[in-house]
């Protein structure tokens, strides 16, 4: 379990945030945030007062990395690059999350290492992480300013013969929406600008599936998935976009079996993969590519006569 609770004894009374700074090697802001999240306990009760003087026996909850051997495929003194497996979160959702890429990031990069961008749990491929707070700020800035070019590979339903572009605004569904859809993101004229270029690479006639290279010019949530669904070529294995309302509901409730997912979506996992990253950092141009041969992921696609896409 990455989050642990350990006991400490404080002999000399001290301010809570100063103790956390020393115990966990945190900066002041980190320590204050840690306490505000209720991760310092006294006599079995969570304490959230940063300036409180504490002494004696206390307990601290903190993240303790537990890597599983997913080593960086590239690294330098500032950052690391991982090939993230499908089905793995980049960051723990709660303190009960058993494993995430943060375990690997901190195992190989130390306590100040951190992920620098989002990648969906079910999407596999390149994940960039910083080693220092300074490099984290710089790399996140490159992503936010769209100075990092990204490309993905996806196996999609049906045949695509020519390259094309989708320029359709995307809007994250309001939590109070009454629309009967499990889609988190919708095509909506009131949404944010979203633009993706698609290029077909290979068509498997037996599986009626096309391997497509995807170039997102913007970085909206679920952008590639929604744009491909919009043009009626949903990504194979997508349990949200391209399936029926009933099927997506079963998936989101955690009740969909592997066999049922294969029938409903065409594969047991989302066949979307972060392929490469291109950017300039400290006057050096980096062209970083995955080591995974994603074309071989066609082995996950089940026969077209069995699956029942709602495309």
Catalytically active residues, by annotation: 120
Return the residue matching tokens 């307990």. Answer: 59
- The backbone torsions φ and ψ at residue 201, rounded to the nearest 5 degrees and listed phi first, read -110, -40
CB proximity list for 221: less than 8 A, separation 6 or greater: 118, 170, 172, 184, 185
Give the Cα separation of 185 and 289 in Å (integer).
28
Q: How far is CA 157 from CA 207, 210, 303, in A?
A: 9, 7, 11
Both tokens of 89, joined, read: 């979160």
* CA-closest candidate to residue 281, choices 102, 113, 77, 66: 77
Give the Cα separation of 109 and 21 in Å (integer).
19
CB proximity list for 284: less than 8 A, separation 6 or greater: none
Both tokens of 120, joined, read: 């969906």
């Amino acid at each position: 379990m990455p989050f642990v609770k350990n006991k400490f004894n404080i002999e000399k009374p001290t301010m809570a945030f100063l103790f956390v700074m020393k115990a966990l090697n945190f900066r002041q802001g980190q320590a204050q945030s840690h306490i505000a999240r209720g991760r310092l306990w006294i006599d079995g009760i969570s304490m959230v007062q940063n300036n409180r003087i504490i002494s004696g026996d206390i307990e601290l909850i903190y993240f303790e990395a537990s890597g599983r051997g997913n080593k960086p495929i590239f690294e330098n003194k500032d950052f690391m690059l991982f090939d993230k497996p499908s089905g793995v979160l980049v960051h723990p959702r709660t303190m009960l999350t058993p494993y995430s890429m943060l375990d690997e990031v901190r195992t190989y990069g130390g306590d100040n290492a951190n992920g620098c961008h989002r990648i969906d749990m079910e999407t596999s491929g390149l994940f960039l992480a910083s080693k220092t707070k300074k490099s984290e700020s710089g790399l996140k800035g490159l992503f936010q300013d769209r100075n990092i070019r990204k490309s993905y590979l996806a196996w999609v339903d049906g045949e695509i013969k020519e390259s094309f572009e989708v320029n359709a605004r995307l809007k994250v569904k309001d939590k109070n929406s009454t629309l009967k859809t499990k889609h988190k993101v919708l095509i909506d004229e009131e949404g944010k600008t979203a633009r993706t270029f698609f290029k077909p690479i290979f068509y498997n006639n037996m599986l009626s599936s096309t391997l497509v290279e995807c170039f997102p010019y913007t970085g909206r949530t679920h952008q590639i998935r929604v744009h491909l669904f919009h043009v009626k070529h949903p990504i194979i294995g997508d349990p949200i976009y391209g399936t029926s309302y009933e099927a997506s509901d079963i998936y989101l409730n955690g009740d969909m079996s592997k066999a049922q997912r294969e029938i409903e979506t065409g594969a047991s996992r989302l066949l979307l993969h972060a392929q490469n990253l291109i950017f300039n950092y400290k006057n050096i141009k980096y062209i970083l590519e995955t080591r995974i041969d994603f074309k071989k992921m066609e082995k996950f696609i089940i026969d077209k006569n069995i699956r029942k896409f709602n495309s």
